[in-house]
Amino acid sequence: MRGFFGSLNGPQTLGNGRSFWTCFAAALVVALVYPGFSDPYSVGNVAYLLIFTLMALGLSLMWGYTGMFSFGQTAFFGVAGYSYGVLAINLDASGAMTLFCLLGAIAVAALFAALLGYFLIWGRVSGVFFGIVTFATTLALAAFFGQTAGPEWAIGTARFNGFNGMIGMPPLMLPWVGEEDIVLEGNALYYFVLALVLAIYLGLRALVNSRFGNVLVSIREDPLRAELLGYDVRKYQLASFVIGSSLAALSGVLYTAWGQFIPPASMGLPAAAMPIIWVAFSGRQDLTATLAGTFLLLLAFQTITVYSQQYALILMGFVLLVTVLLVPAGFIIGIGRLLAGFAGRDRAGTRQDVPA
Amino acid sequence: MTPILQTERLHKRFGGLAAVADVSIDIAAGEIHCLIGPNGAGKSTLFRLVTGTYPPTSGEVLFKGENVTQRKPYERVTRGMSIKLQVPSVFRELPVNQNLDIALQRKLPTAAVPRERARLLGLLQLEDEAHRPAGILSHGQQQWLEIGMALALEPSLLLLDEPTAGMSPQETERTGELIKRLNAQGMTVLVVEHDMTFVRQIALRVTVLHLGRVFAQGNIEQVIADPRVEEIYLGKGHVG
Amino acid sequence: MFAEIFSILYQFADVFAFLILAAAGLAIIFGMMGIINMAHGEFITCGIYVTVICVQQGMPLPLAQAIGALSAGLVGIALERTIIRHLYHRPLDSILATWGISLMVTQGMLLLLGSSWRGIGTPLGSFQVGDYTFSTYRLVLFGAAIGVLAGLYLVFMRTGYGIMARATMQNAEMAQALGVRTQHMYAASFGMGAALAGLCGALYAPTMTLIPTMGITFIIESFVTVVVGGANVLLGTAPAGILLAVVRTALNAWYGQIAGQIGLLIAVIVVIRLLPEGVSGWLSRRER
């Protein structure tokens, strides 16, 4: 047990001390009891927001830890969403089968990421170009799915429906011993997503603080030096890209199952810009900052969207601009570093460098 | 006994320019060998052909008898070469500790890393800097850190490109002593250098490159005494 | 037979013109400063709207187009002076900043201008070869693309600005040491890139229905052309345009528009696997 907790802490994460984990436990308790003090609509809504934090965590791993930024994570989000639709509709899935469809859809997106990543990484595509090729990819996919309105655009019984998006896939269901399957909506979905976020957050913490994470960070700092230490940099980059993209895919499946709907707009603009904004604002070089910042930003965005989507998007653009000009490392990570500076005993494990 | 490193008739052309031409050298296991020559002699190009950063136009590189000409740099490193580049290249934003860990974990299980790290910090006299980002160390300290990272890989051949560039005379001398100490423990070292005082301090055998070709080779005192060697140095302006 | 061949050439010229005009402004800014201007589509949109407004005010089309291109250029210089110049040593951040601006501008225009405007109609009518009818204006666009390439060549090879710009591209620090005021070079280049984007919009304005998000129509093509072309505008953009236009024309003819776009992207991904520094990197390597 001690070993497990030990593996969660390390130089690659802010917040390793007792005070951090106390706050973390408190936040977790709040999250666990929250449905008891709220209405079903709000609970479902928070679940919806949490779904997107997974995509942000994946981008943080790729961009913040490995130094490769993709402007097209929505491509994997969308491909997985459509794949889930195709699988679940054709298999007429229910019960545990929906969970296999979830895994299958993630596998499709991961394979796609591996293929694209292979061409880009083995082609030694560097920073900026990596961003715009992935960006062009997601826009091209959005354009492609946008024109699939005709009845000839279908796989089996699953129709793509062009601009309007694919509909009619079943929600996720959890088989339960001796009982009926639990349909994942409302509180059940909330706890399911919360468990996923928790597991993935802790898993990624362990990953970035492991030997593997050390190598990722070294690639971010200086790929040539990393290679001269005997690491095949390309394999690590590809692994990071596939993991990050699979998390975008998981977000995509959960989103699709949540609304029983996936439109091409989920891959186009402005959707493609959103993960970048969440992660840039939060602080890409720390998982905790990314998780917290993304959730807060999504909450703010949604609150404003109720009044006007345009205003909300203008605000998001403004947030990105201000972040870049004033706090390039990110707002939440800046606050985190301040707190870590105040809490003396937390200092041992924290990074002391100046952000890029 | 086969040499640990051999180059066989290496050529490297950049367009019309032959940066390295027909270079065949042998490095015997256990020696400190210096590559010297005036600026533009092809030392750094030859170094990069050995490390695999550049592919040669023709010729071969043999390491421990194996032809590694087509091998990528990381594959050569995993076979026992260890490389320190000319410009100090450490992970500038990571603490010194972590710089060493990333190198040490290649050879050691996680549990064994801290002890070995402490030993290296002592060897490099960087104990007080362990938690500071490598980028704020002095130039000389960064060079040592990089040598330390190279050592952490437990290499059989240590390749150093101008390890004393930018160091004070005292730092240079300490670096020389460090290299000699490592050599006494059995490490083979190939050094690219143009500081002749430093070369005299550490090396027995040297290879002089001039205009991309091997100009002279042999015992350091003999080579230095050769009037032709003096001429190419003086002809280009005295270096070092 | 002649009509078929002409038709294929016409299609090619049409695609080529689109790629070159869409990419030229982006390529200049990238070549000079290593920045991908994510607001590129918005500069194009600016050129379109200004042109259409001017025409609706009764101006002749060519004048309206000139004003469209110029106003985009001026906006570009203003943007460079206020924001981009703070970010030159951080290319990634300048990309993100332009992306934020792009988002704000697009959504702001949706609020201010509403979702769609009536276009102004394609001028110059059409002509016939064999059984096929062709739009004359499309040939004008092809001429404009050639004109832009020729103009860039003249500016960069024959003018004082061009020599300093190429020096700055090669090595900014060295150029600065030699007395080139790199700040001015950057501002001028950013303005020129924005003006070329505006020109692209101005030229295509008569062929389109206006929506504030229409910049996206140009984005994929311009990005992939720059990626394939590589960092050197003079060397890379034209060959990249030819290469991609061939791919695109063939795929359009056989499988339709969307296959053309997806095929374009696949072609790009394959090209960068083979030529990581783009066409210009490969060409200059061969020269060496």
CB contact under 8 A, C103 and A268: no
Identify whether the C-beta of residue A332 lies closer than 8 Å to the C-beta of residue A292: yes
Give the integer Cα–Cα distance in Å for C44 and C203: 10
**pLDDT (0 to 100) of residue B74:** 93
Measured in angstroms, the CA of B227 and the nearest CA of chain A are apart by 38
Confidence band of B156 (pLDDT split at 50, 70, 90)? very high
CB contact under 8 A, A214 and B105: yes
Domains in chain B with CATH codes: 5-235 (3.40.50.300)
Cβ-based contacts under 8 A for chains B and C = 3
Measured in angstroms, the CA of A135 and the nearest CA of chain C are apart by 8
Residues of A in contact with B132 (CB under 8 A): 352
Residue type for C256, please?
G
Mean of the per-residue pLDDT values of chain A: 89
Identify whether the C-beta of residue B52 lies closer than 8 Å to the C-beta of residue B62: no
Which long-range contacts link C55-62 to residues 24+ away (Cβ below 8 Å)?
Answer: C55/C120, C55/C205, C56/C120, C61/C120, C61/C123, C61/C206
Which residues, other chains included, contact B74 with Cβ-Cβ below 8 Å and sequence gap of 6+? Answer: A227, A228, A229, A230, A231, A232, A233
Measured in angstroms, the CA of A12 and the nearest CA of chain C are apart by 22
Q: Are strands B188-192 and B32-36 parallel, antiparallel or unpaired?
A: parallel
Question: Nearest residue on chain C to B13, judged by CA atoms?
Answer: C288
**pLDDT (0 to 100) of residue B240:** 40
Which of A239, A203, A268, A236 shows the shortest CA–CA distance to A54? A203
CB contact under 8 A, A119 and C86: no
Q: Which of A218, A352, A354 is facing B91, going by the closest CB pair?
A: A218
**pLDDT (0 to 100) of residue B237:** 46
Q: Is B186 on the interface with C (CB under 8 A)?
A: no
List subunits contacting chain B, requiring 3 or more Cβ pairs under 8 Å. A, C
Q: Is C288 on the interface with B (CB under 8 A)?
A: yes
pLDDT in tens, A243-298: 999 999 999 999 999 999 999 999 998 899 999 999 999 999 999 999 999 999 99
List subunits contacting chain A, requiring 3 or more Cβ pairs under 8 Å. B, C
Give B37: exposed, middle or buried? Use CB within 10 Å, 0-12, 13-18, 19+: buried
Residues of B in contact with A214 (CB under 8 A): 98, 101-102, 105
**What angle (nearest 5°) sits at the alpha carbon of residue A346, between those of residues A342 and A349?**
130
**pLDDT (0 to 100) of residue C189:** 87
Q: Is A321 on the interface with C (CB under 8 A)?
A: yes
pLDDT in tens, A148-204: 888 888 898 889 998 899 999 999 998 887 777 888 888 899 999 999 999 999 999
Question: Nearest residue on chain C to A317, judged by CA atoms?
Answer: C100
**pLDDT (0 to 100) of residue A175:** 85
Distance of CA A217 to the CA centre of its chain: 19
Give the integer Cα–Cα distance in Å for B205 and B220: 5
- The percentage of chain A sitting over the pLDDT mark of 70, rounded to a whole number, equals 95
Q: Is the model's pLDDT at B5 over the cut of 80? A: yes
Structure ipTM over 0.95, yes or no: no
Q: Is the model's pLDDT at B175 over the cut of 50? A: yes
**pLDDT (0 to 100) of residue C134:** 80
Q: Which of C92, C97, C216 is facing A321, going by the closest CB pair?
A: C97
Q: Is A69 on the interface with C (CB under 8 A)?
A: yes
Q: Is C224 on the interface with A (CB under 8 A)?
A: yes
Confidence band of A62 (pLDDT split at 50, 70, 90)? very high
3-state helix, strand, coil in chain B (%, to 5): 40, 25, 35
**pLDDT (0 to 100) of residue C263:** 83
CB contact under 8 A, A324 and C274: no
- The percentage of chain A sitting over the pLDDT mark of 90, rounded to a whole number, equals 65
Q: Is C286 on the interface with B (CB under 8 A)?
A: no
Residues of B in contact with C287 (CB under 8 A): 15
**pLDDT (0 to 100) of residue A344:** 52
Cβ-based contacts under 8 A for chains A and C = 130
**pLDDT (0 to 100) of residue C213:** 81
Residue type for C122, please?
T
Residues of A in contact with C33 (CB under 8 A): none
Residues of C in contact with A311 (CB under 8 A): 107, 111
DSSP conformational letter for B56 = -
Residues of C in contact with B14 (CB under 8 A): 288
CB contact under 8 A, A356 and B93: yes
Mean of the per-residue pLDDT values of chain B: 88
pLDDT < 50 positions in chain C: 288
Please tell me whether residue A263 adopts helix, strand or coil conformation.
coil
Distance of CA C283 to the CA centre of its chain: 22
Q: Which of A11, A232, A354 is facing B98, going by the closest CB pair?
A: A11
Give the integer Cα–Cα distance in Å for A60 and A77: 15
CB contact under 8 A, A311 and C111: yes
CB contact under 8 A, A222 and B91: yes
Q: Is the model's pLDDT at A75 over the cut of 90? A: yes
Residues of A in contact with C86 (CB under 8 A): 325
Measured in angstroms, the CA of C154 and the nearest CA of chain A are apart by 28
**pLDDT (0 to 100) of residue A236:** 96
Q: Is C124 on the interface with A (CB under 8 A)?
A: no
Q: Is A276 on the interface with C (CB under 8 A)?
A: yes
Question: Nearest residue on chain A to B150, judged by CA atoms?
Answer: A229
Each domain of chain A, given as residue ranges in start order, spans 40-267
**pLDDT (0 to 100) of residue B235:** 58
Distance of CA C145 to the CA centre of its chain: 10
CB contact under 8 A, B73 and A227: yes
- The percentage of chain C sitting over the pLDDT mark of 90, rounded to a whole number, equals 20
Terminal-residue alpha carbon distance, chain A = 35
**pLDDT (0 to 100) of residue C157:** 82
Measured in angstroms, the CA of C184 and the nearest CA of chain A are apart by 21
Q: Is B102 on the interface with A (CB under 8 A)?
A: yes
Confidence band of A1 (pLDDT split at 50, 70, 90)? low
**pLDDT (0 to 100) of residue A242:** 98
Q: Is A133 on the interface with C (CB under 8 A)?
A: yes
Q: Is C92 on the interface with A (CB under 8 A)?
A: yes
Measured in angstroms, the CA of A280 and the nearest CA of chain C are apart by 9
pLDDT in tens, A312-356: 999 999 999 999 999 888 998 888 888 877 765 444 444 434 333
